[in-house]
Structure 1
Amino acid sequence: MKTHKPDAVLRDLGTAIGIGILAGLAGTVAITLSQTAEMAVTKRPPSTVPADAVSKVLNVKPTKKRKKELVSQEIHWTYGTAWGIPRGLFALAGLRGWPATLAHFVTIWATGLVMLPKLNLAPPITEQDAPTIATDALHHAVYAIGTGLAYDAIDHK
């Protein structure tokens, strides 16, 4: 059985979290580009779901429409960057490469599929049409793949 010194465990944890944050930022860039391209094609307006979710969870409300759009962007970037941390924890637990990216995708997408209906911000997946589900899955896959590629490029063990 391999034993770890406490300082090595903390170093490894800090490294996994730090790389995860950087990778999450890269994944957020990827999903932002994916969503921007999709919105240009479909003429869909930017989503305010991030601000709506924070408003419901924290019981706060932006005072103006422009503020809501800004808060949505801030939450989008913060949420996406923070979701890189689980990718780092997967690697720390020994799950790497494409299996880690798949686990990360499932974790992220499943969280949204549960959380948004619970907050009354989206219908349950059983009430969504196929194109909506496919678009949502595609964006989350782009995020997970972007995060995974960035994580593996930085960590390269």
Structure 2
Amino acid sequence: MNRADNAAGQLGNAIGKGILAGIAGTAAITLSQMIEMKITKRKPSQAPVKVASQITDVKPVNKQAKEKVSQEIHWAYGTAWGIARGIIGLTGLKGLPAAAVHFVTLWGTALVMIPKYKAGPPITEEEPQAIAIDALHHAVYALAAGFAYDALDSGR
């Protein structure tokens, strides 16, 4: 086996573990959001559908379809972000440092994309409580995905 085959195998391994970690992170953020929405009485975010509608030019036809599409996008997006955690793992970072890099990358992207696609206001126009809640949810995702990735990667 040559070095290139080994590198491709390591990348594929990291992506696969990252996808599984992304599923774990998405489950964790979903639970976190459900608990928070029960406490705060906040309605589910329409940001996933708004962004996807602009990128794909596909618009749900009714409220039920909008909720279904929103959940599908939420799970696909969260699962895909697990790939980033896998790539971070290839650098040798683990634990909290890797989760911190993942969090900054994930939340930073959201802070740019949501206002860019007019799916929400820029962070400078948000209330401090809304910023803290959003940061908390993304931290829950990054920690859960990181824990899952590190657990999957511990046997290599």
State the TM-score, normalized to the length of structure 1: 0.95
Q: What value does the CA root-mean-square deviation take over the aligned residues?
A: 1.0
78-87 or 88-97: bigger deviation: 88-97
- Corresponding residue for 2:69? 71
Structure-to-structure mapping, 1:83-98, within 5 angstroms:
83-98=81-96
Once residues 108 and 47 of structure 1 are traced to their aligned partners in structure 2, the CA distance between those partners, rounded to angstroms, is 17
1:72, CA displacement in angstroms? Answer: 0.1
- Corresponding residue for 1:81? 79
Structure-to-structure mapping, 1:121-136, within 5 angstroms:
121-136=119-134
Task: Choose the corresponding residue for 1:112, options 99, 106, 110.
Answer: 110
Instruction: Give deviations 1:82-140, integer Å, cap 9, x for gaps.
Output: 00001000111222221110000000000000110111111111111100000000000
1:48, CA displacement in angstroms? Answer: 2.0
Once residues 59 and 29 of structure 1 are traced to their aligned partners in structure 2, the CA distance between those partners, rounded to angstroms, is 28
Once residues 138 and 19 of structure 1 are traced to their aligned partners in structure 2, the CA distance between those partners, rounded to angstroms, is 24
- The reply to whether residue 54 of structure 1 matches residue 45 of structure 2 is no
Instruction: Give deviations 1:50-89, integer Å, cap 9, x for gaps.
Output: 1111001111111111101000000000000000001000
| Structure 2 unaligned blocks of 5 or more | none
- The reply to whether residue 140 of structure 1 matches residue 138 of structure 2 is yes
Spell out structure 1 runs of 4+ moving beyond 2 A: none
SS of equivalent residue, structure 1 residue 83: helix
SS of equivalent residue, structure 1 residue 140: helix
Whether contact under 8 Å (2:24, 2:144) holds in the other structure is yes
State the TM-score, normalized to the length of structure 2: 0.96
Whether contact under 8 Å (2:46, 2:119) holds in the other structure is no
15-24 or 48-57: bigger deviation: 48-57
| Structure 1 unaligned blocks of 5 or more | none
- Tell me the amino acid that sits aligned with residue 130 of structure 1: P
- Corresponding residue for 1:151? 149
- Corresponding residue for 2:35? 37
Q: Give percent identity, aligned residues only.
A: 58
Count of residue pairs brought into register by the alignment: 154
SS of equivalent residue, structure 2 residue 43: coil
